[in-house]
């Protein structure tokens, strides 16, 4: 276990190095933060002054060392837009994204288990066909459009929910629903298909022959055998959400999370804030994934991870 | 099930196979509808100048935010109404498909081509080449995908070319993985070994002997990815990081209409509906295709249908009694 | 027969169909069988003859695309099929009627401890407490010959060998002291040395608990050693059903004779193995008459119509038009105990 943990930490460390380098290359070599931050009308003198202030006039290698140092110490300098440390903004908006993820993906995880299992009980049955149809449609709808249609229906026509922003629980309903939809569809389909496979296995026949009840077969016998693929996808959905895929939902509903802030950083020409968000999120994803691997090893002792 | 063996069960005769397939497709109404809708969307995009009733960019200040024809105040000149600049929505939807389909096709080709090459290389060469390529694939999967895309676009500036390159870079790994796993399976087959013993060059073996085995899984994957790219392009265009005005795209049209959702829902609804219908139709047809090309899945589908029919018959009998 | 106690289990003309794309495959075509209390019935036949389908039908395991098309299955004289028999079927399954499968490697839940898999039967059917169930599980594990039962109880199936897993399966099957145990080729997937051990174990348990066993196998040697009565299946039908001595000493059905002749013998090393010529019938379009007719060396024109079950002894029947003429022809060379 210790060896495995060290191995995963080493892998995670490499990913972090790669991300930091990639971000550096994209922002400093492919793009130019000076151009991004200053308006086109800025004079050369203004540009030079800005570059001097932010250390962008130094040799590129020196810049890289400074950059890595910043990343390691989680000090990314000030946001140009809000004139305060980028990290302060990051810590401020991170909980908002986590709330959204927890409500949306968490809800999808719970709901998908039940929908998928009950659909798998009778493949081709009425419930199964209804679930698969809804899942297929759910995967085909563009998220931003679903969000706008929800706003139109619940906020404009019915006037029961607030259109956007963050406040009480009512503000969470539509963003969470919108975020949940594709995840719910993917998770349900996974639960359904792996459950159908599992219910055809010999040990389920054994359980039937033993006279076990249907609920015992579903939830006691089969469920634990689909847990690893299911939790893998759950972890992937959460990672996917963290990796910026809440941007769309947060933008539609002006939900002040990481994605919304990243979009603001782009629109307000704030390359430093954007960098800070990208790198910190990668750190979180790496740590999260190591945690998941440990969890899987605990669930299924047969898993051998080198 | 395994206990019974069906002896002498004929496989489908080669004659008239195509017609039989079409007949089988007709049995699945959803898949048929999907195929028809896909054809309509593709043809309408290709022949947009002939099909579209108006110039998609033509503004009409008098006819701003006209509703669709069936609503009060709507007219048949603008079947699906007009947007905030008085542009015809139907025409914009028809033209918008061009950008979406073109970008998706380009991304699938670039990412698919690149991923297939690397997957072939990794699977066929094995050893160090394999581990280096697969490390890159793994590392890229662990990166915060969309945030990096945002970073790149904000650094380089948005545009169709940028969009294609960025989406291709973000999506080639899956092809490499699938191709590699197929190649690893095929490599062990006797006929590849035989070809190697006969002295075939590696390049020849790869393209002549291994590539044919990849066609079916690659087709399925490419179709699936095509729908994913349509959705990704729409999302990026919606965020203002994809297709830029004055060009049109479904995602962009939804974005430009979103501020008017309180007064003119149709400006947002129809372009979004176009995305949904296109993606759904492709998925429906692809699903059918996947099942049909897999004999086992096909038998299962048949069995499910039979069981459903029997159950329905029994239920009907019970309710009649 | 009126007034006597009904047999423990009775199959009446059971037909099982499988709906496939190529057509309807007939898995069972009118199978009638009885098993009495304490009796060991051997069900023999080649692959595809319907042995396993029979077991599945008894255990209520026939699922789509398969279905029981007609016939009835009676437990102690009462039907366990259909909506009316559902309650009875549920009350006996796992308790009075249990089963051991062919492949012990896949028959146990890979993620549940052996103990949990044994105990759940006990808590479900006997309503005992967890502690009692655990004590009983230890007894059972010990009884089927697994050492260190207390430690083994908390292990997962992958820590057990194939033979040990089959012992666990047997422990589960006999946990509630059933009246009938269906064993579907319980030794086929095991090593030869382990096979004998498992069979011995089954025999010992059968004697000790006085339960009825339905042993499905294609190994006639096993049948000769362990069974009281034998039913020979072919093409989804019962060809011959007779006491074990009769089957080996005076087989009535040409197929039974072929089967016995095709069994390898230790004392004839150099002789070429004999086999019945031809192929088993196509289940999608079985011949209307005797299914064995196309391969039968003594077929008659009459065999084009389905033969009835003809009484060939006090407790023997054979489904053959030709039993009279073939009654004493070849003595068997397999000894019965």
Can you give the residue ranges of every domain in chain A? 86-299
Contact between residue B160 and residue B245 where contact means Cβ atoms under 8 Å apart: no
pTM for the model stands at 0.83
Confidence (pLDDT) at B8:
38
In C241-252, which positions are buried (b, 16+ CB within 10 angstroms) versus exposed (e)? bbbbbbbbebbb
How distant is the Cα of A266 from the closest Cα of chain B, in angstroms? 6
* Contacting subunits of B (3+ beta carbon pairs below 8 A): A, C
The CA distances from residue A201 to A103, A196, A221, A222, in Å, are: 34, 9, 11, 9
Task: Kindly report the nearest CA distance between residue A2 and chain B, in angstroms.
Answer: 22
- Assign 3-state DSSP to chain A and report helix, strand, coil percentages, each to 5: 80, 0, 20
Flag whether B259 is in a domain. yes
Judged by CB atoms closer than 8 Å, whether chains meet at B154 and A263 is answered as no
Could you say which of C21, C48, C56 has the minimum Cβ distance to residue B5? C48
Alpha carbon distances (Å) from C248 to C245, C274, C328? 5, 17, 12
Distance CA A218, CA A199 (A): 8
- For the cut 90, the answer to whether the pLDDT of residue B6 exceeds it is no
Residues 6+ away with beta carbon under 8 Å from B146 = A243, A244, A245, A247
Residue B278 lies in a domain: yes
Higher pLDDT, B218 or C180: C180
Minimal-distance CA residue of chain B relative to C64 = B307
Classify strands C40-44 and C229-234 as parallel, antiparallel or unpaired. parallel
pLDDT of residue C231: 93
Short-list A20, A132, C19, C292, CA closest to B151: A20
Q: Which domain holds residue B256?
A: 15-320
Q: C286 to chain A, minimum CA–CA distance in Å? A: 28
User: Could you read off the pLDDT of B135-182 as tens digits, one per residue?
Assistant: 788 777 667 677 788 888 888 888 888 899 989 988 888 898 888 888
Q: What is the DSSP string of B178-226?
A: HHHHHHHHHHTSHHHHHHHHTT--HHHIIIIIIHHHHHHHHHHHHHHHH
pLDDT tens profile B77-128: 777 777 777 788 888 888 888 888 999 999 999 999 999 989 888 887 878 8
Q: Which residue of A has its CA nearest to C121?
A: A210
Report CB contact under 8 Å: B302, C64.
Answer: no
Chain centroid to Cα B211, Å, comes to: 22
Please report whether residue B8 resides in a domain.
no
* Number of domains present in the structure of chain B: 1
Contacts of C93 in chain A (CB under 8 A): 208-211
* Per-residue pLDDT at B275: 92
Compare CB distances from A152 to B152, B265, B308 and report the shortest one's residue.
B265
C312 Cβ contact list (under 8 Å, min separation 6): C240, C242, C246, C252, C318, C323, C327
> Is the residue at B180 inside a domain?
yes
- In chain A, which residue's Cα lies nearest the Cα of C59? A209
Q: How far is CA A36 from the centre of its chain?
A: 27
Q: What is the pLDDT of residues A201-219, one digit of tens each?
A: 999 999 999 999 999 999 9
Q: Which residues of C touch A203 (CB under 8 A)?
A: 106-110
Q: How far apart are CA C188 and CA C44, in angstroms?
A: 13
Q: How far apart are alpha carbons A141 and B273 in whole angstroms?
A: 8
A144-155 pLDDT, tens digit each: 999 999 988 888
CA-to-CA distance for C129 and C65, rounded, in angstroms?
39
Note whether residue B7 is domain-resident: no
Report yes or no on B5 lying in a domain.
no
Q: Homologous superfamily of A86-299 in CATH?
A: MetI-like (1.10.3720.10)
* A52 or C123, higher pLDDT: C123
Q: pLDDT confidence of B213, banded at 50, 70, 90?
A: confident
The CATH number given to whatever domain includes residue B247 is 1.10.3720.10
Which chain B residue has the Cα nearest residue A22?
B148
pLDDT higher than threshold 50 for residue B9: no
C295-302 contact pairs (CB < 8 A, 24+): C295/C258, C296/C254, C296/C255, C297/C254, C297/C258, C298/C254, C298/C322, C298/C325, C298/C326
Q: Over range A22-46, report the average pLDDT.
A: 77
Task: Determine, yes or no, domain membership for B4.
Answer: no
Least Cα distance to A119 among A181, A192, A186, A213 occurs for: A192
Query: Over chain B, what is the mean pLDDT?
Result: 80
- Per-residue buried b or exposed e for C120-141, using 16+ beta carbons within 10 Å of the residue's own CB: bbbebbeeeeeeebbebbbebb
Q: DSSP letter at C127?
A: -
- Return averaged pLDDT per consecutive 10 residues of chain C, 337 residues in all: 75 90 86 92 88 92 86 91 88 91 89 92 91 92 88 90 90 92 88 86 89 90 89 90 88 86 68 72 82 83 82 82 56 42
Indicate yes or no: CB of C110 within 8 angstroms of CB of A205: no
Question: Is the model more confident about A73 or about A103?
Answer: A103
C158-162 contacts, C-beta under 8 A, 24 or more apart: C158/A302, C158/C110, C160/C114, C162/C104, C162/C105, C162/C189, C162/C190, C162/C191, C162/C194
pLDDT of the residue at C269: 58
Q: How close does chain A come to C335, measured CA to CA in Å?
A: 35
- CB distance B94 to B52 below 8 Å: yes
Angle at A69 between CA A93 and CA A239, to 5 degrees: 40
Of the candidates B107, B132, B122, B289, the residue with the CA atom closest to the CA atom of residue B210: B122
Provide the 8-state DSSP code for B82.
Answer: B
Tell me, yes or no, whether B116 lies in a domain: yes
Query: Rounded to an integer, what distance in angstroms lies between the CA atom of residue A217 and that of residue C125?
Result: 15
Q: What is the mean pLDDT of residues B226-243?
A: 90
């Amino acid at each position: 276990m210790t060896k495995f943990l060290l191995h995963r930490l080493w892998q995670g460390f490499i990913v972090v190095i790669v991300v930091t380098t990639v971000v550096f290359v994209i922002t400093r070599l492919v793009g130019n933060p000076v151009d991004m931050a200053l308006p086109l009308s800025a004079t050369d003198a203004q540009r030079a002054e800005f570059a001097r202030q932010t250390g962008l006039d130094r040799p590129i290698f020196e810049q890289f060392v400074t950059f890595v140092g910043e990343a390691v110490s989680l000090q990314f300098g000030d946001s140009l837009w809000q004139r305060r440390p980028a990290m302060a903004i990051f810590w401020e908006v991170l909980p908002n994204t986590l709330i959204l993820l927890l409500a949306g993906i968490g809800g999808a995880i719970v709901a998908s288990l039940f929908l998928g299992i009950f659909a798998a009980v009778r493949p081709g049955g009425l419930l199964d066909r209804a679930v698969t149809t809804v899942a297929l449609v759910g995967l085909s709808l563009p998220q931003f459009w679903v969000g706008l249609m929800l706003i139109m229906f619940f906020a404009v026509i019915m006037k029961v929910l607030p259109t956007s922003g963050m406040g009480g629980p009512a503000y969470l309903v539509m963003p969470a629903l919108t975020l949940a939809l594709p995840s719910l569809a993917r998770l349900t389909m996974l639960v359904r298909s792996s459950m159908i496979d599992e219910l055809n296995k010999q040990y389920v026949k054994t359980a039937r022959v033993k006279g076990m009840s249907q609920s015992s077969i579903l939830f006691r016998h089969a469920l634990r055998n689909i847990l690893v693929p299911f939790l893998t996808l759950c972890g992937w959905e959460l990672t996917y959400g963290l990796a910026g895929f809440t941007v769309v939902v947060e933008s539609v509903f002006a939900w002040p999370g990481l994605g919304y802030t990243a979009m603001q950083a782009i629109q307000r020409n704030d390359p430093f804030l954007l960098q800070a968000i990208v790198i910190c999120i990668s750190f979180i994803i790496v740590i999260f994934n190591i945690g998941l691997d440990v969890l899987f090893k605990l669930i299924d002792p047969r898993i051998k991870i080198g | 099930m395994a206990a019974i063996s069906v002896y002498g069960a004929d496989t489908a005769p080669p004659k008239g196979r195509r017609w039989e397939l079409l007949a089988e497709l007709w049995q699945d109404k959803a898949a048929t509808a999907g195929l028809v809708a896909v054809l309509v969307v593709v043809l309408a995009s290709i022949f947009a100048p002939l099909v579209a009733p108006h110039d998609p960019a033509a503004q009409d200040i008098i006819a701003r935010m006209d509703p669709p024809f069936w609503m009060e105040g709507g007219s048949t000149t603008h079947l699906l109404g007009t947007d905030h600049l008085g542009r015809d929505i139907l025409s914009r939807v028809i033209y918008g498909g061009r950008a979406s389909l073109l970008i998706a096709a380009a991304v699938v080709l670039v990412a698919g081509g690149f991923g297939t090459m690397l997957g072939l290389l990794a699977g066929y060469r094995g050893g160090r080449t394999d581990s280096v390529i697969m490390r890159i694939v793994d590392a890229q999967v662990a990166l915060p995908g969309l945030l990096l895309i945002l970073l790149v676009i904000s650094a380089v500036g948005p545009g169709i070319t940028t969009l294609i390159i960025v989406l291709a870079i973000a999506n080639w790994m899956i092809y490499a993985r699938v191709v590699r796993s197929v190649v690893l399976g095929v490599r062990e087959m006797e006929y590849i070994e035989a070809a190697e013993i006969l002295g075939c060059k590696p390049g020849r073996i790869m393209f002549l002997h291994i590539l044919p085995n990849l066609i079916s899984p690659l087709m399925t994957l490419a179709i699936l990815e095509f729908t994913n790219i349509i959705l990704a392009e729409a999302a990026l265009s919606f965020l203002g990081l994809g297709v830029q005005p004055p060009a049109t795209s479904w995602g962009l049209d939804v974005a430009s209409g979103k501020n008017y959702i309180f007064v003119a829902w149709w400006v947002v609804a129809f372009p979004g509906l176009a995305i949904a219908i296109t993606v759904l139709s492709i998925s429906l047809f692809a699903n059918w295709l996947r099942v049909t090309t897999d004999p086992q899945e096909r038998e299962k589908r048949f069995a499910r249908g039979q069981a459903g029919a029997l159950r329905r018959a029994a239920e009907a009998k019970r309710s009649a009694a | 027969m009126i007034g006597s106690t009904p047999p423990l289990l009775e199959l009446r003309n059971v037909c099982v169909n499988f709906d496939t794309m190529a057509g309807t495959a007939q898995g069972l075509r009118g199978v009638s069988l009885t098993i009495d209390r304490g009796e060991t019935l051997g069900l023999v036949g080649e692959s595809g003859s319907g042995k396993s389908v029979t077991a599945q039908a008894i255990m209520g395991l026939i699922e789509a695309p398969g279905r029981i098309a007609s016939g009835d299955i009676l437990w102690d004289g009462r039907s366990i099929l259909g909506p009316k028999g559902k309650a009875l079927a549920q009350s006996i399954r796992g308790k009075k009627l249990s089963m051991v499968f062919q492949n012990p490697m896949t028959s146990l839940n890979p993620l549940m401890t052996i103990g949990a898999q044994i105990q759940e039967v006990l808590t479900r059917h006997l309503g005992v407490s967890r502690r009692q169930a655990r004590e009983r599980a230890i007894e059972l594990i010990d009884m089927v010959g697994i050492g260190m039962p207390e430690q083994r109880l908390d292990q997962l199936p992958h820590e057990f060998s194939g033979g040990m897993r089959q012992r666990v399966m047997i422990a589960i099957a006999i946990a509630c002291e059933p009246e009938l145990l269906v064993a579907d080729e319980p030794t086929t997937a095991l090593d030869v040395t382990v096979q004998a051990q498992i069979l011995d174990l089954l025999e010992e348990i059968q004697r000790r608990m006085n339960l009825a066993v339905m042993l499905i196998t294609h190994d006639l040697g096993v049948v000769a050693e362990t069974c009281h009565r034998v039913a020979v299946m072919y093409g989804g039908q019962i060809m011959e059903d007779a006491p074990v001595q009769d089957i080996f000493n005076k087989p009535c059905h040409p197929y039974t004779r072929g089967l016995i002749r095709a069994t390898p013998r230790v004392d004839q090393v150099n002789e070429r193995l004999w086999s019945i010529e031809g192929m088993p019938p196509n289940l999608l379009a079985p011949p209307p008459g005797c299914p064995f007719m196309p391969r039968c060396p003594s077929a008659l024109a009459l065999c084009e119509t389905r033969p009835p079950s003809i009484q060939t002894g006090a407790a023997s029947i054979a489904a053959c038009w030709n039993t009279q003429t073939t009654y004493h022809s070849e003595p068997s060379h397999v000894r019965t105990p």
